[in-house]
Structure 1
Amino acid sequence: MPYSPDISVSIIRSIDSVPHILKLVAESTGVGFVCIAHVTPDSWTVCALHDEVDFGLAVGGKLDVTYTLCNSVRAMDKEIVIEHADKDPLYAENPVPKMFNFQSYFSFPLHDEQGRFFGTLCGLDKKALALNNDKVLSLLSSFSALITRQIEYAAAFSEAKYQWQHQKEAVQLREQNIAILGHDLRTPLSTISVGLDVIENITNEPQTAKVVKMMRASAFRIERLISDVMDFAHTRASQGVIVQRRKTDELGDKLSHVVAELSNNYPAATITGDIVINDVIYCDPDRLSQLLSNLLINALIHGEDGRPVTVSAQAKKSMLCIQVANYGPTIPAEAIDRLFQPFWRQEAGRESEGLGLGLYIASEISKAHDAKLFVSSESSHTVFSFHMPVLPASDH
């Protein structure tokens, strides 16, 4: 589809060399007015100009295309050159030179990146000028070809920029919708949890208790998925994972609670924990609990059945270290490089429980704490390690 006048003006404005080219054309030919016009069957619009004679047009200015010789250039896709309009056998009786009060005139066609007619490089002057000679014609043809190439490059860049912006807006809209959906799901999920509490309080029937336990595990999984999706939406909106760091002595208890909760939700697995944190830690304890939960769930999903998953968390020598280790297939080096990418999953040979966001969110939580999260995998043993100073540097 041909460009609109406004887009055409924008394309020509984006070409830094245009003002210099128009000035060179004016100096080389002697004409006082030179412009690049966007010409369609319905419009004639100034995209750029060099005016030494106060012709009365500005960028974006329009003329009735039917009263311009550029309309003939568009129809023929061929240049027009007039040296002395009053004596020219073709244009002496044409009303256009008299209407705009010029004697000398030229108009060369310009094309866009698809070879379509874009407009003209045109110039005029009240004086009669020697334009119809090999030197000037060659010069004008060369400048026209140069501008055409510049239009091609600028139009291609403009289209790429438009596509990028369109994709960016689509991604932002999708992520906003994800965040809204995640937020709206929390209310019915909360109602389900309250309902399970009520059922537990009014019955001790074993089969009902078993079903309630299964439902709690499912509700826990849904809550985790919602949290991961909402955190992902925040990170993609360039906000990163939101943390509220403070000095706290409750991190050890919170991490122990994570281990106990997941032991309850994965009864077939064996989780061994060694959590000894007596120091005051400068962190967001809820976010570090989430980090441990994501690492531990990953280990439970990908670990070898029947082998324990080990968790350790210690604060030694002013450094907090949290580790989660599991037995299972050794992770290839090329896969390790991709573990913390969003929506990427290992080939686990079993149905995945998540969206592939857990390790990515853990990595973002680590970054928000100015910490390091890394993984090693060898001899069928994989260890995720999180290292962070116990207190900010200013307190050491």
Structure 2
Amino acid sequence: MTQPIHVLIVDDIRNNITALEASLARPDVSVLKAESGPAALELLLKHEVALAILDVNMPGMDGFELAELMRGSPRTARVPIIFLTATAQDTGRTFRGYEAGAVDFLYKPFDSRILNSKVDVFIQIERQKQQLAAQLSTVQQLLDANEMLMAVLGHDLRTPLSAVIASAEYLSRFVQDENVANIGTRIKSSGMRMVRMVDQLLNLARLRGGRVTLQPRPVELMTLARNIVDEYEARVGKGRIFIFRDGDTLLQGDGDLLSQVFSNLIGNALQHGRDGSAIQVRLDGSAADELVICVQNAGEIPADVLPTIFAPFRSGRSQQESGGLGLGLYITHEIALMHGGSVKARSTNDAGTTFEVTLPRAPRPRVGRTEPAQPFRLS
């Protein structure tokens, strides 16, 4: 059921109110009536009004004064106002009405058809606002339900996955039968892949639900990079990932989110880079107001994949090959935007693939939504 749309009529002459009420009668319109400015203000405190039709000449508080009070209140500042007056046409009074916030100024006697046409416009606008509000509420409920589902999924899956991975680890390390050990290794690999998928889905739900907020603090990017590299070296061995620093790499940012940027980019390089090739992580802090993170690996991204590399559920390989859902680069893009930065990708057969994240020294507010960054190519 749609809510009735309220139209406020303010006039000190009751017969005028009755005539206007009859003219505006519609099934979905509720007419609020007031015979003075103070009475109108009381109604405005109780009801959301789509349009106010004010008489100019009223004892005590006239229509201009009432309009100025309405414009001074956040609750009623955006209520459209149409002035009605029985006095002779006066350009000065007309301009004063518009200065007071009127959207129209009519002189009596007026053509009721013209007034009704004007009122219909504001009724349609209010109805559209109600529909948009209902749609927004529905979308928010869906987002909340989606986030709850992801949270339950993540919580309920982690416990059995931990048992599966631990059991697979035991089989691969302590069972003498080589076939069984190989099966354990495959089970462990698949279990770790499922863990990464769960993590990516949880991060996606939080990002799209607007539940991830920055918690800026002093962050040393070199320390973050070193920690993530140490974690990966424990899995793939030392001597493959190299870190280079130039200048001051201290900034104000969310350390947890920026750690995820390093983890996503290095993990992507390991997954999609040429087998056994070196990975370079370069931190450029030579500029006064920004820092640049570059992660480079051998191997080329296909030309048809590069334009959509930061889109969700996209990657350079199939999900089976990538070990995830193709969300890592999308999440990296969103985290960079949250800090007021950007991320780009370039890839050629000779130079390999480089992801470049530019971050300001201090987070800049994110205004609106930005589409994923377009790739750039070497000249």
**Shorter-chain TM band:** 0.5 to 0.7
Is 1:385 the counterpart of 2:371? The answer is no
Letter in 2 for 1:31: N
Provide the rounded CA distance (Å) in 2 between the counterparts of 1:205 and 1:172: 48
Provide the rounded CA distance (Å) in 2 between the counterparts of 1:149 and 1:277: 62
More deviation, 247-256/144-153: 247-256
Instruction: Please give the per-residue CA displacement for 1:9-56, whole angstroms capped at 9, x wherever unaligned.
Output: xx235xxxx54xx65xx88x963544377666xxx984322436xx9x
Provide the rounded CA distance (Å) in 1 between the counterparts of 2:254 and 2:111: 69
Residue among 31, 52, 65 paired with 1:47:
31
Provide the rounded CA distance (Å) in 2 between the counterparts of 1:222 and 1:349: 11
Contact 1:373–1:386, Cα closer than 8 Å, also in 2: yes
- CA change 1:373–1:241 in 2 (3 A) is farther
- CA change 1:301–1:146 in 2 (3 A) is same
Is 1:291 the counterpart of 2:261? The answer is yes
Instruction: Please give the per-residue CA displacement for 1:275-326, whole angstroms capped at 9, x wherever unaligned.
Output: 35799967777655543342244345545xx665431135566667441323
C-alpha deviation, 1:359, in angstroms: 0.5
Contact 1:308–1:327, Cα closer than 8 Å, also in 2: no
C-alpha deviation, 1:185, in angstroms: 1.7
Letter in 2 for 1:177: L
Letter in 2 for 1:384: F
Is 1:12 the counterpart of 2:6? The answer is yes
Q: Flag structure 2 segments of 5+ consecutive residues without an equivalent.
A: 45-106, 364-379
Aligned partner of 2:134 in structure 1 is 162
TM-score (norm 1): 0.56
Provide the rounded CA distance (Å) in 1 between the counterparts of 2:34 and 2:229: 75
C-alpha deviation, 1:261, in angstroms: 5.3
- CA change 1:285–1:199 in 2 (3 A) is farther
Contact 1:47–1:59, Cα closer than 8 Å, also in 2: no
Residue among 320, 331, 334 paired with 1:361:
331
- Percentage of pairs with the same residue: 21
More deviation, 200-209/175-184: 200-209
Aligned partner of 1:311 in structure 2 is 279
Which protein is bigger by CA-based radius of gyration? 1
Aligned partner of 1:35 in structure 2 is 21
Aligned partner of 1:254 in structure 2 is 227
Provide the rounded CA distance (Å) in 2 between the counterparts of 1:383 and 1:294: 13
State the SS of the aligned residue for 1:327.
coil
Provide the rounded CA distance (Å) in 2 between the counterparts of 1:47 and 1:249: 66
Provide the rounded CA distance (Å) in 1 between the counterparts of 2:191 and 2:320: 21
- CA change 1:307–1:189 in 2 (3 A) is closer
Instruction: State the superposition RMSD in angstroms.
Output: 4.6
Equivalences for residues 136-155 of structure 1 within 5 A: 139-155=111-127
Provide the rounded CA distance (Å) in 2 between the counterparts of 1:315 and 1:32: 72
Letter in 2 for 1:273: I
State the SS of the aligned residue for 1:12.
strand
- CA change 1:179–1:195 in 2 (3 A) is same
Provide the rounded CA distance (Å) in 1 between the counterparts of 2:213 and 2:15: 63
Contact 1:252–1:276, Cα closer than 8 Å, also in 2: no
Equivalences for residues 66-81 of structure 1 within 5 A: none
Equivalences for residues 311-330 of structure 1 within 5 A: 311-314=279-282, 321-330=293-302
Aligned partner of 1:203 in structure 2 is 175
- CA change 1:301–1:314 in 2 (3 A) is closer
Aligned partner of 1:90 in structure 2 is none
State the SS of the aligned residue for 2:295.
strand
Provide the rounded CA distance (Å) in 2 between the counterparts of 1:348 and 1:185: 23
C-alpha deviation, 1:221, in angstroms: 1.1
Contact 1:39–1:45, Cα closer than 8 Å, also in 2: yes
Aligned partner of 1:65 in structure 2 is none
Provide the rounded CA distance (Å) in 2 between the counterparts of 1:349 and 1:261: 24
Contact 1:175–1:236, Cα closer than 8 Å, also in 2: no
State the SS of the aligned residue for 2:16.
coil
Contact 1:274–1:312, Cα closer than 8 Å, also in 2: yes
Is 1:274 the counterpart of 2:274? The answer is no
TM-score (norm 2): 0.58
Q: Flag structure 1 segments of 5+ consecutive residues without an equivalent.
A: 61-134, 265-270
Provide the rounded CA distance (Å) in 1 between the counterparts of 2:257 and 2:110: 70
Provide the rounded CA distance (Å) in 2 between the counterparts of 1:213 and 1:241: 38
Provide the rounded CA distance (Å) in 1 between the counterparts of 2:116 and 2:284: 73
Aligned partner of 1:229 in structure 2 is 201
Letter in 2 for 1:196: A
Contact 1:254–1:286, Cα closer than 8 Å, also in 2: no
Provide the rounded CA distance (Å) in 1 between the counterparts of 2:358 and 2:176: 45
- CA change 1:212–1:370 in 2 (3 A) is farther
C-alpha deviation, 1:218, in angstroms: 1.3
C-alpha deviation, 1:358, in angstroms: 0.7
More deviation, 138-147/310-319: 310-319
Contact 1:290–1:362, Cα closer than 8 Å, also in 2: yes
Provide the rounded CA distance (Å) in 1 between the counterparts of 2:349 and 2:250: 34
Provide the rounded CA distance (Å) in 2 between the counterparts of 1:210 and 1:337: 39
Provide the rounded CA distance (Å) in 1 between the counterparts of 2:131 and 2:143: 18
Contact 1:272–1:308, Cα closer than 8 Å, also in 2: yes
- CA change 1:31–1:252 in 2 (3 A) is closer
